[in-house]
Structure 1
Amino acid sequence: LADTNGDSVVGGLGDTITYSFVVSNTGNVTLSNIVVTDATATVAGGPLASLAVGASDSTTFSATYVITQADIDAGNVTNTAVATGDDTNGNPVSDDSDDPTDPTDVDPDGDGDPDDPTVTGLTQTPDITLTKTASISNSSDVGAIITYTFSVENTGNVTITNLIIDDILTNSFGLIVTPSTLAPNEIGIATATYIVTQNDMDLGYIDNSANAIGDSPNGSGDVSDVSDAGDEFTETPDGADNTNGDPTDDPTVVLLSQKPEITLTKTAVVGGAGGSIGDVVTYTFTLENTGNVTVYNITLDDAFLNASGVLISPSDLLPGEIGTATLTHIITIEDVSLGYIENSAIASGFDLNGDDVSDVSDAGDEFTETPDGEDNTNGDPTDDPTVILLIPEDEEIIIYDAISPDDGDGINDVFTIAGLQNFPDNNLKIYNRWGVLVFENDAYHLGPFFDGTSNGRVTITKEEKLPSGVYYYVLTYVSSNEVKSKAGPLYINR
C-alpha cells in the first residue's frame, strides 16, 4: 500500500495497492509464452518467453490497483490473478493465484493447489458530524417560529446510509436527511420548526440538542452523533451558561428578547357628600402585565394610604392579564384644608429570573400628562399622581359650616375652611346669637382651629366650651390685592 493521494493515511480512497507475482513451473515440461491477467488490477510486464521445470519468476510481472470508495465500504480489496502459458505441445496451462500468507488454502478448482484470493484489508472509520443551527422570526414574540437546520456531514471514510434526525424539541423522530446516503465529506440537510411558548419566553432562551443516526456498511443504526452548535473545537455554554467539557456536543441556544413590564393605574371614587370630611375615597388599582414575560407575586405599596405589600389579585400575571386591588381613605380636615388629595402608588413583582419588575401608578392615561394638585408636571405622562379636587374650580375656598366636636368619631371636630392656605392674609371672627365675639384668629389656616371652645374675649370665659346652637362666622381674606369676605351660620352639635 502507498499513500498516493497525499492525505497521510495509507489505505485511503485513491491510494495505490502494488501487487507482485511469483510464477513457478510446478510441472514436468518447459512452459512458454506465459502471461498474467488480473480482472481487478492493472498488470505490467510479460509475456515471459519460457519457464523451465522447477523454475520461478518474481520480476517479470507486477500490478497496481487504485482503491475506490466501494473497496473502503467493503473493508478490503479482494482479487485473484491468473497465470497462463503453453506446454511443449502448444496446449494451454493456467493457474489461479494463491496468497501464501493466507492459511485457509481453499482449492476451488480441485487441482491440489490452494487458490486463496489476495485480500488487502482496509481500515474503516465510520463517523458523522451533526450541526444544528437556528433562525427565529421575532425573538420577542410568543408564537414566533424558529426554523432549525440540521446539517449532517460524513466525516468518516465509509458511505453512510439511511440517515435520520431525532429531535425531541421539534417532535421530530425519524426525520429523513436529504440526501439520506452520504459518501465521505458529503453533506445532507434536514429542517424542522418550533413555535416559541410563554414558558420559553419566561425562561429567556431555548436550548437543546438533536441526534443524527445512520447505517455503516457493516451495521444498522451503528453511526450517530449528538449535534453541536457549529464549532466542534470551541465549547459554547447552554442557556444557563453551563458547559460539560466537550466542545463537540454544545446545545443550540436561541436567546429570546424578554421585556418585563407592568403598568399600574390608580383611580378614585369619592363617596358621601363627594369630598367632605369623613367621606370615604375608594381607590381602585388596576395592574396590567404589558410586557412579554410572566410577572409573579405582584404587590402594592402606597405610603399615603399606609399600605405595604398589598397583593394584587391575581398576583401572578401572564402578559396581557390584569389584576386589581382596592383600598380606602377617609377624608380628613388636613385634606379639606389643602383642597385636594393626591398621591401615587408603586406596584412591584419579579420575573422568572428573579429580576424586579415595578411601576409607579398613573392616573389613567399613559400618553397624556395630567398635573398634580398644584398644577405641576414632571414631563413623564406615565406616572401622573391621582388627584381628587375638594374645592370646585370656580371656588376659591369652601367653608364647612358645622362641627361636632364631642361625638368621638374624629370627624368634623373643628371648623374647616378648605383652600384658605392659598390666602394667608386672613381673619376669622365667630359670634354667638347675641352678637358676642367668642372666637377670633388671624391666619386661621395656621391654627389653632375653632373646636367649639371660646378663645377668651371680653364677655366669654376663655376655654369655655360653647353650647350647641347656631353661631355666625365672618371671614375676611385678601385675594389678588382685593379684600373679600364671607359670612354665614355655623352650627355646633354636641
Structure 2
Amino acid sequence: MLEVSFRYDEVTYAAVASSYSGTMSTVTVLNGATITPTSGAAAATWASYEVTLPDSIPASGELEFSVAAVTDNVPQGDDFRVRNVMLESEGACAIGLEKSAEVVDANDDGVVGNAGDEIAYTYVSTNTGSSSLFDVTVSEDAAAFTGNGELPTPVHASGGSDLDGEADGLDLSPEESATWTATYTIVPADIDQGQIENQAITSGDTSAGDPVTDTSDDPADPTDVDPNDDGDPDDPTVVPLAPPPAISLEKSGDVSDSNRDGVGGSAGDEIVYTYVATNTGPVTVYDVTVSEDEASFTGSGPLPVPAYSAGGTDIDGEADDMDLAPGESVTWTATYIVTEADVDSLQATITNQATAVGTDAGDVPVSDTSDDPQDTTDMTEGCAAGADACDPTKVEIGHPSGELSLEKSGVLVDANGDGVVGNAGDQIAYTHLVTNTGVETVYDVWVGEIVDTFTGNGARTPTMRYDSGGSDLDGHRDDPDLDPGDTLTWTGLYTLVQADVDQGQVLNQSLVEGVDLNSQLVYDTSDDPTDPTDVTEGCTWGADACDPTVTPLGLDASISLEKTSEVVDTNDDGTTGSAGDVITYTYVTTNTGAVTVYDVTVTEQDAMFTGTGDLPAPAYLEGGTDTDGEGDDMDLAPGETVTWSATYTVTEGDVANGSIENQALTEGTDPNGDPVEDISDDPDDPTDTDANGDGEPDDPTVLELPESPVLSAPPVVPSLPDTGSAGVFAIIGVAVLAVLGGVVLLVVRRRS
C-alpha cells in the first residue's frame, strides 16, 4: 500500500469547476491502478488516497488517471493529469539530530570556559528516511540540561524546504538537512561543577501527520550510546569548563622565649606568624591580600597585622608584587606578643585564622581561609569553596608549669636481729627524693605508694612519712612546698613476710603530687636511680624514666639432715647389738635457709649401707607443715623441722662384720621448683667431714657391734701310774680347771 497526496490540475479542472460539486469516490489510474480516497476531497483541494500500484508503476513521478466515478457534471472517463504526486512507503520515515558545541571567550579575559563565556550550540537535523517530513523543529531537553543558567533556545539558521507551501522552509525531503543554532552564557555555578551536559530533540510530521523524532547525538563523542534502540547513537553533548581561579593560604605560628625566662609562650614572649598564599588555579589572580580574622582570634592583645614579605609578581603593572601566576606564591608575616591576660586565662593556645583575597581577570573575587599545615585534623566545615582544609592556627602558650621528679630506692635492714638480712621479719627502708625540676614553685608536695604496682605480701603497703626538705611557702602548715631546684625527702618502711622471701624480691613504685600556682596538678612516677633500664612507657608526661624499685632478697634455700641410731637388746640375751637386736634410726630435717622448702622427703642411700639385712625405710614421724595445701606435712618454713624414723634388725652377718654404717638423703624443692637436698650427718661424730662442700658436716652414722663369745676345749691330761695319789691328782685337776676356766672367761669381752 502506498499513500498519495495530489492536487488536480488547475487548468484542466477549471472548465468544470463551476458545475462540479461533491467528492470523488473512485479515481482510476490510466494504467490500471486504483486510488481510493481515505477522506473527503473537495474540488481544487489537496486529498489523500490509498493507492495500489502494479510493480510496473514507478514509485515517484507524475501519474495519469481518470475519474472512474464522479458526481454531478464531471463526466466519467475524462482524463485528468495530476502533477507533483508524491508516493511514499508507509514506515519509511526517519530523522536524525546531531548537536555540537564550541566555547567562546565572550568576556575576553583570555580564559576560555570561565564565567561569562558563551557556548555556541549547532543542531543539524537530517531526514534519514525515504519520505518527506514536514514542519521539522528542534528544542532543548530541559530534563537533561545541567547548566545553572537559562535553557538554550535553538533558532533555525539554514537548510530545509517549503514542501507544504507554508513558506517556512522547515520541511525535509529524504536526505535533506536543516541547521539550528543557540547560545548559552556560563555562570559561576557552572564553573564549580566543572561541565555542562545537555541534549536536544528534533521532531517532524509525515504526510499523514504522524510525528517522527530523534534525540541528539554528539558527533565528537565516540561512545555512541543508543538508549532508545533506534540504531542511531544518542550521546549527550558535554562541554568541559575551565577550572575556576583558586588560591590556597597556609598559616603557621612559632613562639620564642623572647623574655628569656626559660618558658616558651609566657607573658612577653613573641609569636611569629607566617602566611603563604599560593595560586592553585589555572589563571592569574590579581591584587592578593591577607588579613587576620578578628572573630576567630582568641588573644587578648592587638590583632596581628600581616605585612608583605616576599614572592608574587607585578603582572597588572600596578607597581606591587601582589599578583600570582598559576603555581606562584607570596608570603606575609606578622607578630603577636603574649600578654599576662593570655597566660592568666589558662587557655592552652592562642587560636586564629586569616583570609587571602584576590580577583581574577574579570574582577571576580577569589579567596581562601587559612589552614595550619602542622595540624593533621584537616577539617573542611566552613572552608572556602574548593578548599582541602582550613584548620585554625593554634600556638601553645607557656603557662610556666610546675615539674617534679621522684627517685625511690630501697635498702634491706636486719630488723629481726638474726644476722640474716632479707628474711621474714626484716624490713625494707625506702627513701624518696623529690626535686622541683621546673621553673615555678610547686605546693603541697605529697608522696604515696602506688598500690597496684606493689608486689609485697604483707598486710599493708609501706608507710610513707615526710622526712626533711622543702619549705612552707604558702603558709598552710601542711605538706611542704618546693621552689625550683629544691628537694625534699620522704621515707617508708615495709616488713617482710615469708611469702616475700619465697618470691625472692619486692617490687613497687611511688607517686609524688603537688599543685602549681594555677592549681594545676603536678606529678611524677618514681624512678629507681640504680636501675639503668630507664623504661619510659607509662611514665608521666616529661619523665625521663620510671623504672620501678626492685629490692632483691637474694636468700637461697637450704636444708640439713641429722641421723642418729640407738640399739636395743631386743632378744634379751644380755648383749646389746647381737644378732636379733633392733636398731632405731631417727632422721631430723631442718630448713636452715630463708625460704620455704616444699615436699621434703628422706631416703636411705643403698650404696652407702653396710648392713646385710633389709635397707631401712624412713617413715614420717612428726613436724613440718602443709604449706602448699597438698594434704601432707612435708613442707618446712625457715627454721622448721620434720622427723622420720626407721628400724633395722641386726643379723649374724652384721655381727661378724663388727659394725653397721649408713647415710640418708633429704630432698625438697624451693619456691621456684628447684631441688634442695642434704646428706645426713651423725651429730655424735666429731669428725665433721663435709663431703658435698656445703659447709655442713656429713659424717655417716656408724654403729659398732659386740663380738660373739668363743669357748676353748680343756687340755688332755696324760695317764700316770697309780701311786695311790688319786685324790691328790683330783684336787690338782680341779685346781687346773679352775685356772683354765678363768683363762677362758678372760677371752669373753664386750664391745659396745
Give TM-score, length-normalised by structure 2. Answer: 0.35
Does structure 2 conserve the Cα–Cα contact (< 8 Å) formed by 1:135 and 1:147?
yes
C-alpha change, 1:365 and 1:279, in structure 2 (3 Å) is: closer
Cα offset, 1:339, TM superposition: 1.0
Q: What is the identity, as a one-letter code, of the residue corresponding to 1:214?
A: G
C-alpha change, 1:335 and 1:73, in structure 2 (3 Å) is: farther
Which entry has the higher C-alpha Rg, 1 or 2? Answer: 2
Structure 2: how far apart are the matches of 1:158 and 1:71?
Answer: 18
- 1:275 maps to what in 2? 577
Say which SS state the counterpart of residue 653 (structure 2) adopts: helix
- Deviations along 1:90-144, one digit per CA (max 9) or x if unpaired, are xxxxxxxxxxxxxxxxxxxxxxxxxxxxxx9643444433221122235344333
- Deviations along 1:369-418, one digit per CA (max 9) or x if unpaired, are 169xxxx9x99971111111102xxxxx42489xxxxxxxxxxxxxxxxx
C-alpha change, 1:72 and 1:163, in structure 2 (3 Å) is: farther
Q: Does 1:152 align with 2:434?
A: yes
Does structure 2 conserve the Cα–Cα contact (< 8 Å) formed by 1:369 and 1:380?
no
C-alpha RMSD over aligned residues: 4.5
C-alpha change, 1:210 and 1:5, in structure 2 (3 Å) is: same
Q: Does 1:369 align with 2:671?
A: no
Cα offset, 1:209, TM superposition: 1.0
Cα offset, 1:330, TM superposition: 1.2
Aligned with 2:447 (options 165, 169, 176) = 165
Aligned with 1:284 (options 586, 600, 608) = 586
Structure 2: how far apart are the matches of 1:485 and 1:205?
Answer: 73
Cα offset, 1:282, TM superposition: 0.8
Q: What is the identity, as a one-letter code, of the residue corresponding to 2:708?
A: I
Q: Does 1:11 align with 2:269?
A: no
Q: Does 1:387 align with 2:702?
A: yes
- 1:135 maps to what in 2? 411
Comparing 339-348 with 300-309, greater Cα deviation is found at 300-309
Aligned with 2:559 (options 262, 277, 283) = 262
- 2:327 maps to what in 1? none
Q: What is the identity, as a one-letter code, of the residue corresponding to 2:257?
A: D
Structure 1: how far apart are the matches of 2:532 and 2:598?
Answer: 41
Does structure 2 conserve the Cα–Cα contact (< 8 Å) formed by 1:285 and 1:326?
yes
Task: List runs of 5+ in structure 2 lacking aligned partners.
Answer: 1-254, 272-336, 348-395, 415-420, 452-459, 471-479, 570-574, 625-633, 714-742, 748-752
How many pairs align? 302
C-alpha change, 1:244 and 1:229, in structure 2 (3 Å) is: same
Identity %: 32
Comparing 356-365 with 225-234, greater Cα deviation is found at 225-234
Cα offset, 1:206, TM superposition: 1.4
- Correspondences of 1:23-422 after superposition (within 5 Å): 122-138=398-414, 139-167=421-449, 168=451, 170-172=461-463, 178-179=469-470, 180-219=480-519, 222-230=521-529, 234-235=533-534, 248-272=545-569, 273-303=575-605, 304=609, 306=615, 313-314=623-624, 315-364=634-683, 368-369=686-687, 382-391=697-706, 397-399=707-709
Q: What is the identity, as a one-letter code, of the residue corresponding to 2:703?
A: I
Give TM-score, length-normalised by structure 1. Answer: 0.51
Q: What is the identity, as a one-letter code, of the residue corresponding to 2:447?
A: I
Cα offset, 1:12, TM superposition: 5.1
Cα offset, 1:350, TM superposition: 1.4
Does structure 2 conserve the Cα–Cα contact (< 8 Å) formed by 1:208 and 1:253?
yes
Does structure 1 conserve the Cα–Cα contact (< 8 Å) formed by 2:599 and 2:668?
yes
C-alpha change, 1:194 and 1:187, in structure 2 (3 Å) is: same
C-alpha change, 1:5 and 1:260, in structure 2 (3 Å) is: farther
Structure 2: how far apart are the matches of 1:72 and 1:233?
Answer: 38
Does structure 2 conserve the Cα–Cα contact (< 8 Å) formed by 1:209 and 1:251?
yes
Say which SS state the counterpart of residue 398 (structure 1) adopts: coil
Structure 1: how far apart are the matches of 2:617 and 2:464?
Answer: 53
Structure 2: how far apart are the matches of 1:359 and 1:232?
Answer: 37
Does structure 1 conserve the Cα–Cα contact (< 8 Å) formed by 2:257 and 2:270?
no
Higher relative contact order (CA 8 A, sep 6+): 1
Say which SS state the counterpart of residue 324 (structure 1) adopts: strand
